[in-house]
Every structure is written in structure tokens, then in C-alpha cells.
Amino acid sequence: MYIIMLGAPGTGKGTIGNEICEKYNLTHLATGDIFRDEIKRETPLGKKANEYISKGELVPDEVTIAMVEGKLNEMKDVLLDGFPRTIAQAEALKEYLNKNNKNITAVINLNVPDEDIIKRTSSRVICSNKECGASYNTIFMPPKVEGICDKCGSPLIKRKDDNPETIKERLNVYYKNTQPLIDYYEKEGLLESIDINIYLENTKEVTTEKAIKIIDGRLN
């Protein structure tokens, strides 16, 4: 099973993606997390990716596609979070899946108004343990103990690219490169959109429930 999480930065692709992975036993493949890990380990890929990520730009398609295909070869049921982000990436994925006799079950597109994205992303913190990858929000979804991950007890850190300037650039990049994927997957008959109200107390639960209903509907 292949699920794609689509949506602007800060719409909750990772958080909702985690819940979906638990429910359907999928491997969570988050390209941003992989790049951040490569940057931390100062690998050649990390150094290259950092040139773009630090400015809020996209890592070039050929680098990203090769990296994702390498990972997909080792995985069976996958949730893709943050990939594809361009039409070229979507075409490469389609070709890869065709070659391997695999299908996309659903593309879940999370909609959050821009002003809410900026608010929410500015107060996001993530777990420093890459195996965990949990994400919190100091205003909307705080951890039980300040600065500590509920799931694994590791310290929480702020992402370097979660500052207002870089977020604005990431939103520009999203509208230019990634939003066209909404039409692309609509035409493929795979698009399922969920409108999110970040001010609900149980936004995460409500959104997860909607996503599960969508996936179950497509599996039956």
C-alpha cells in the first residue's frame, strides 16, 4: 500500500502521517527527516541538501528522486511524507511504481490557511531522536513536559527552517512547485482533500479519523 501526504509545510503531514502509519503498519518515509539526518551526519548528500534547505528552497529533483528510489527499494507498504513535491518527482514515482507493479492507494491533501500555517510553524518543535520523529507545538499541541518528547523522552528542538522568513519562502516554493500536484492527482482520480481547523482542541484526532475513513473507503 502506498499513501501520499500532500500539503503545504506545517499542515500536519508528519503528525497525521505517523497516525496513519501506526494504524496500517506502514513505513513512514519523510524526505525532510532524511535530509535533516544527512545534514546532522555531515554526509555529502547532507552538505548538498543543506545548501537548499537552509534557504527554504527545494533540493534538486535528480538528487531527491535517486534518494527516494533507493529507500523505496527496501520498503513494502509506505507512507510518503514530503514527496513528491514537483511534477517531475510525481512522474518519476509513477514510473517507478509501474515498473514494480505497485499502486497509490490515496493522496491525502491537507488544507490549512496560510496565516494559520505561519502561526503553527513558528511554534513547532520536533523530537531530536530521528527514530522517533514526533512533532509538537508549544501553543497548539504541547508535550506533557516542556522540552521533552512524550513518546521517547528525548529533548525537543526547533527546526532551523521554521523561522518566519524561511517559512514564507517555503510557502512560495509550495505554491509554485507543489500545488500543481493537486490537479495532477485529481486527474489521476487519487486526490482526497481534508480542510483543517487548527483551533479545534482535537484537530489531530479529527483529521486522523477523516484520513482513516478515506483510506478504508479506498481499500474496500
Q: Which spans of this chain sit near ligand AMP (rule: CB under 6 A)?
A: 9, 31-32, 35, 52-53, 56-59, 64, 82-83, 85, 89, 161, 170
Q: How far is the CB of 209 from ligand AMP (least distance, A)?
A: 23
The grid coordinates listed for 187 are: 486527474
Going by DSSP bridges, is the β-strand pair 156-157/124-127 parallel, antiparallel, or unpaired? antiparallel
Gap between the terminal Cα atoms of the chain: 13
Longest dimension (CA), the chain: 47
Of 117, 112, 154, 164, nearest in space to 132 by CA: 154
Minimum Å gap between C-beta 28 and ligand AMP is 12
Instruction: Give the C-alpha separation, 132 to 122, whole Å.
Output: 21
Q: Report d(CA 105, CA 9) in Å as an integer.
A: 22
* 2 contacts 104 by C-beta, under 8 angstroms: yes
Neighbours of 6 (CB within 10 A): 28
Query: Looking at 13, 36, 120, 210, which residue is catalytic?
Result: 13
Residue whose CB is less far from ligand AMP, 161 or 192: 161
Smallest gap from Cβ 174 to ligand AMP, in A, equals 9
Q: Which is nearer to ligand AMP, 12 or 56 (CB)?
A: 56
Query: What is the nearest approach in angstroms of ligand AMP to the Cβ of residue 168?
Result: 12
As a whole number of angstroms, the distance between CA 22 and CA 2 comes to: 14
8 Å CB contact between 159 and 124: yes
Indicate which residue of 48, 55, 102, 159 is catalytic: 159
Please say which residue, 52 or 96, places its beta carbon nearer to ligand AMP.
52
Q: Is 36 a catalytic site residue? A: no
- 170 part of the active site: yes
41 part of the active site: no
What's the min distance (Å) between Cβ of 63 and ligand AMP? 8
| Distance separating alpha carbons of residues 207 and 210, to the nearest angstrom | 5
Q: Which residue has its beta carbon closest to ligand AMP? A: 32
Cβ-based nearer residue to ligand AMP, 45 or 218:
45
Among the listed residues 36, 94, 120, 124, the single catalytic one is 124
Of the residues 85, 120, 204, 210, only one is catalytic, namely 85
Catalytic residue among 36, 170, 204, 210: 170
User: Catalytic amino acids?
Assistant: 13, 85, 124, 159, 170
